[in-house]
Structure 1
Amino acid sequence: MASSLSLLTLSTTATSSTVTVVSTTSPSTNGPEPSSSSQSLCKSSAPTAFSTTSDTEAAPITPEVPASSPSPRKGSAFWLSYAAVCICTFVSALDITSIPTSLPSIIKSLSGTAASSWVGSSYTLASAAMIPFTGNLANIFGRRPIMLGSIMLFALGSALAAGAQSMEWLIVARTVQGMGGGGMTGMSSIIVADLVPLAERGAYDGFKTMMWACASGGGALSEWASWRWLFYINLPASAFAFFFTFVFLQVRTPEGDMQSKLALVDWVGNFLLIAGAILSNISLTWAGVRYAWSDVHVLAPLMTALALMFAFVIYEKYFPTVPTMPWDVVTNRTALLSLIATFLNGITSISIIYFLPLFFQAVFLASPLQSAIYSIPSAVLISPFSFLNGIVVLKAKRYLPGSYAGCVLLVIGFGVVSILGAGSSLAIRVASQVIVAAGTGILISSLPFALMAPIPVERLGSALAFQAFLRTLSQTWGITISAAILQNTVKRKFPARFIKTLPTGSDFAFAALSRIASLPEPLQQEVKVAFGQGISSIYRVMIGVAGLGFLCVVFMKEVPMRNEVDGTFALKMSEERPDVEKAQVGAEQKAEKVEVEHVEMV
């Protein structure tokens, strides 16, 4: 009779309730899956304890197993795998951070201004399109082969870009390069999530973002050598990343034959998502530049894109066996708001990284090297602030304070940046960038925790890939929207006699960059003022975008962070197994002792 005794514990609230069945003799080290509406059943032949919890954000850690259970010891296998991830992050960051300062040199060399904005947006769009697809593939084929394939695609695109003889050639090459870069970016976040528990991840994610700071000086190569070296340098870097990943990233791969794995790929969902992303970017690229916002050429692709995105969401709920987007991110308020805030932060962050160097080149007549130096606070400090905030999250186990601080700093920072002009002092130029960099970096490391905390560990890979997709897609939108704002402003502000000298059908702003220094006064001053007003218009819009991000954070909840990871993709040569098994055995023995004492008392 004693062996069949169980303890029934009920805990309810007015919102909802989740029923969890947990064994008292063999408790799960992972605890129940946090979900707002699902039932988690951990079956056992031993006596069970029933408990109902009702947090709309997440179920708490199972009481029988403390949340502070010893985490695995991190040995050489872990650190070498983590180093491989950081190297891949550095390689993929090289182009995003280097191209903006080199764009005038590229335009001058290839004599192409009509499609110059696509040099940046083609990379980010292809990158965004590939991130959820590679995340889906990684859940089926494993992390390592997808990372290696992404590195090879990136290297191929870099080789094609280095030899580009026209703007069209370069844009196609950048698209191939972006496909590889997107896969590397998405896989880096997923692999770190596989190896490090959420409660410990702040410092590791923060250090990974430091690779962006290390990669931010690449644009200076266009001053010291040809802009083609921006792409040539990727070849040995990619080779090194491939070698390091192939040799040291030894993580588990799901079993199964190729045919069964291909059948699991979410082909339809990825098609809907990629097609929607491409059409939305085409619409925004044309809006206000080639066609009016009300023109059918703008509205038709935009409406089609929205319809495809809606169809994607519905399809993901009902059909795929391995969905690209876990449904938890839609039904959980905090997770959903974190995705929206991530999208908004992507728009604001790329606007400062991509367009501030152009401001210095146009208004201060700076060379690519000088503009890179002037932009150091915004280009380099984002990563250190992200790293420091990761340490804070690691120690405090809370992500909302940093999210609030990041949004407030962004609103203030963009307010200051929007008033920069030719007469702005060095102190104002530096201080404004530091404020924006602080807000951006803090949000980059805070928002992923708001997504991951409510999501079950086995679905974190897909959730992180979808978040990375939204961040990259938003950067595409950020480049496109900012370019449209700049183009429309300078089109109105440039003197008519100067516009007549620009190539027909060109992007006026980018076409003007290489000509401003040679203009006579007072025409030069008029053009510089007009360009500065165009950049200011961008950052005034970004104040509102950052404000929307703050509203998202207001309605988030602080969800406890877990200490477990998904073992499906753990290290093969795990040096941590003895410690893990010891912790599990200790927890089981403690639970058995508690049960025996309880039965004796009864």
Structure 2
Amino acid sequence: MGLFRPRVRPACRVEIDQESHLHHDADTVIETESETETLARTSSDSGIDTRSDCCPTPVHDDDKVKPPPPSYGSYLSKEKGVVISTIPLTSPECSSSSSLDSWDTEKEKATTPAGEWRRGAGFWRCFTAVCIPILLSAFEGSVVSTALPTISSSLSLGSNSSWVATSFLLASIVFQPLYGQLADICGRRPLMMAAVVIFGIGSAISGWANSSAVLISGRVIQGMGSGGIDLFAELILCDIIPLQKRGHYVAIKAAVYALGTTVGPLLGGVFATMNWRWCFGINIPICLVALILMWFWLQLNNGNPSRTWAELRCKVSQVDFLGITVLTASVIVLLVAFTTAGTITTWNSSSTVLLLVGGGLGIVGFAFWERSDRCLNPIMAPHVFSNRTTVAAFAITVIHGFITYGFQFYLPPFFQVILGSSPTQSGVLILPCTLTIVIMAALGGPLLARFGRYRLMHRVGFVLMGAGLLLCVVYESSTSTALWILFSFLVGIGSGIIVSTTLPTVLVQLTDKENAAATGSWAFLRGLGSLFGVAIPNAAFNAQFNAKLLNIHDESARHTLGFGQAYEHASAIFIESFHKPDIKDQIKDAFSSSLKVVWVIFLVMAALGATVTFLERHVALRKELDSDYGLLEKKRPVSPTEEV
């Protein structure tokens, strides 16, 4: 937390002298209402319009209409009538609109009283338009899991097979903090539509790929679009629904997402039997439908939109491109280390050690850069990490993504090798886990909205996940289908309880003005957990399998399965290609032993997650909504009594 302590920076290049009356406690910064008035008087007395562009314009005494004070991200607290304030909504450096124009905008926004939340037909149209791309993104993130052995065999991917999933996840997460900054510049709607277009282009490239390089490139483009879809969907829901009421709708969204992850493996098995290219081609018509719905139904305010290209360039120039570059490079270096260690190189080789050290130092350097005074607009803003509950919720998000995504990634090899299931059958056997996540996600959101006990829900979730994973470790060689359905059922219940509560917990001690920064960081960390939930267990799986190779008394089998190629051949068809029963048993034993190591890793992470929940504090969910990016309201005539 020390690396991410909040900083106070001037919001404009024009220096304004004012006495700070900020009162700090452990988690919030409290500012009295009189301070806002003092700031307005100071700005007016200085003769400078603090909302002007980089070249401030003087305000003369003859001007009859004075601009309102700068709009700060604040909301009314229930306690003692104070205003909890954070940072200016927009950077005055990049505001080129006139004072009178801004005042007119404030009058238009005043048609909807602050904090009042209404839900009509426009809300449901917007909500539906957001859910379709979410379903699409979730489906594509899981459809490849059961079809990957077939795809890998068709294109001869070899040890590159893990990059089909890893590249998608990597591209979907590394740009999400950057998307969070761009969302405050360009608004949510145009970027959401652009993300769907990018996703469709990546799907087309992947569907027509004839080599591993083209397929992985297409998956990278798909991931960029998927990451944007996930982030902008979360942002839109945060902008149109108050935190206290958000649980119901986050649950619906989570259920839609979980539905995609449920149907994905099932259809992946079907497409693997028919033609694996349909795993990607099916997305294109759905993208077109989603774009049409968003064009007509996704009607949102654009916050404080850029009015000129000069202002847009000014805002974009302040984006933390250096930070996103360092972060991306560091994550890639670490992934390469975990992917190649035990396959291409050994763990104690100089190249592996160099990659691990370099990636770790890059992450540390990124953290220092984000809190330095030279980083004007950090992609992972330090003030977002300013309280213990938010930091604990971020950690829980990483751990939950690690277990949930990784567990579902390694279930198909177990079902196909140990239980002898076909790709389609393995997709069906995953349903108890994924459907349970859907159901519990649908229940978890309303429970959070009703009782607000996110700490208890997190603890129960991790305990249930740990119980299921412990049974997986104990009965790792069992061929009882009923037992393994029970194990995955327990993991699914625990995961579903947590899935719809992590983001509200992150935001519970932050304001609505920090939605973009906090949600971008949350989405990145959730994806990072999912990414390493595949990469780290994959390294352990390969290391254990290589150690078991000598127990397989067939040279061709050892050659085929060694050096990181075991996951590629994790299918019942491959096992049945050997006629000797003892060779089949030896191969199954190697897979069972290697998967046991994977289950142990997930069990340790579940125990760690349960421990982290004790760092959370209980804070009541707020009922107010204060966002500049909510639903676009129809203008109504202003009566003479309402005019200023």
Query: TM-score normalised to the size of structure 2?
Result: 0.78
Letter of the 1:231 counterpart: F
SS of the counterpart of 2:161? coil
The change in CA–CA distance for 1:252 and 1:409 in structure 2 (over 3 A counts) is same
Cα contact 2:117–2:241 (8 A) shared by 1:
no
Corresponding residue number in structure 1 for 2:501: 446
Aligned positions of 1:534-553 closer than 5 A: 534-553=594-613
SS of the counterpart of 1:539? helix
Are 1:515 and 2:565 counterparts?
Answer: no
Letter of the 2:31 counterpart: T
Aligned partner (choices 180, 189, 196) of residue 241 of structure 2: 196
Distance in 2, matches of 1:81 and 1:15, equals: 38
Are 1:363 and 2:418 counterparts?
Answer: yes
Aligned partner (choices 81, 93, 106) of residue 138 of structure 2: 93
Alignment deviations for residues 457-486 of structure 1 (CA, whole Å, 9 cap, x no partner): 101221111111111111111111121122
The change in CA–CA distance for 1:422 and 1:366 in structure 2 (over 3 A counts) is farther
Distance in 2, matches of 1:25 and 1:223, equals: 62
Gaps of 5+ in 2: 1-20, 38-65, 67-74, 85-113
Cα contact 2:28–2:509 (8 A) shared by 1:
no
Letter of the 2:605 counterpart: V
Are 1:345 and 2:400 counterparts?
Answer: yes
The change in CA–CA distance for 1:24 and 1:490 in structure 2 (over 3 A counts) is closer
Alignment deviations for residues 289-313 of structure 1 (CA, whole Å, 9 cap, x no partner): 2222232222222222222222222
Aligned partner (choices 207, 212, 228) of residue 277 of structure 2: 228
Cα contact 2:115–2:624 (8 A) shared by 1:
no
Corresponding residue number in structure 2 for 1:244: 293
Distance in 2, matches of 1:83 and 1:149, equals: 18
**What's the offset of the Cα at 1:319?**
3.8
Aligned positions of 1:278-317 closer than 5 A: 278-317=332-371
The change in CA–CA distance for 1:17 and 1:398 in structure 2 (over 3 A counts) is closer
**What's the offset of the Cα at 1:86?**
0.7
Cα contact 1:413–1:432 (8 A) shared by 2:
yes
Corresponding residue number in structure 1 for 2:31: 20
Cα contact 2:343–2:564 (8 A) shared by 1:
no
Distance in 2, matches of 1:188 and 1:293, equals: 40
The change in CA–CA distance for 1:109 and 1:333 in structure 2 (over 3 A counts) is same
- Mean CA deviation greater in 220-229 or 370-379: 220-229
Distance in 1, matches of 2:478 and 2:601, equals: 22
Letter of the 2:510 counterpart: I
Corresponding residue number in structure 2 for 1:497: 554
Distance in 1, matches of 2:134 and 2:362, equals: 31
Distance in 2, matches of 1:548 and 1:219, equals: 32
Alignment deviations for residues 177-235 of structure 1 (CA, whole Å, 9 cap, x no partner): 11111111111111111111111111111111112332222313324521110101010
Aligned partner (choices 171, 181, 185) of residue 126 of structure 1: 171
Cα contact 2:27–2:386 (8 A) shared by 1:
no
Gaps of 5+ in 1: 1-9, 27-44, 46-57, 586-602
Distance in 1, matches of 2:426 and 2:562, equals: 28
Distance in 2, matches of 1:66 and 1:15, equals: 17
Aligned partner (choices 221, 241, 244) of residue 176 of structure 1: 221
Aligned positions of 1:388-403 closer than 5 A: 388-403=443-458
- Mean CA deviation greater in 330-339 or 490-499: 490-499
Cα contact 2:24–2:30 (8 A) shared by 1:
no
The change in CA–CA distance for 1:447 and 1:497 in structure 2 (over 3 A counts) is same
The two structures, once aligned, show a CA RMSD in angstroms of 2.9
The change in CA–CA distance for 1:321 and 1:247 in structure 2 (over 3 A counts) is farther
Corresponding residue number in structure 1 for 2:389: 334
SS of the counterpart of 2:501? helix
Letter of the 1:211 counterpart: V
Corresponding residue number in structure 1 for 2:202: 157
The change in CA–CA distance for 1:146 and 1:24 in structure 2 (over 3 A counts) is closer
SS of the counterpart of 1:284? helix
The change in CA–CA distance for 1:435 and 1:406 in structure 2 (over 3 A counts) is same
**What's the offset of the Cα at 1:283?**
1.4
SS of the counterpart of 1:564? coil
Identical-residue share of aligned pairs (%): 27
Aligned partner (choices 256, 259, 267) of residue 313 of structure 2: 259
Letter of the 1:339 counterpart: F
**What's the offset of the Cα at 1:504?**
7.1
SS of the counterpart of 1:343? helix
The change in CA–CA distance for 1:370 and 1:17 in structure 2 (over 3 A counts) is closer
**What's the offset of the Cα at 1:353?**
1.1
Cα contact 1:97–1:379 (8 A) shared by 2:
no
The change in CA–CA distance for 1:66 and 1:465 in structure 2 (over 3 A counts) is closer
**What's the offset of the Cα at 1:525?**
1.5
Are 1:382 and 2:437 counterparts?
Answer: yes
Corresponding residue number in structure 1 for 2:97: none
Distance in 1, matches of 2:613 and 2:325, equals: 31
**What's the offset of the Cα at 1:528?**
1.2
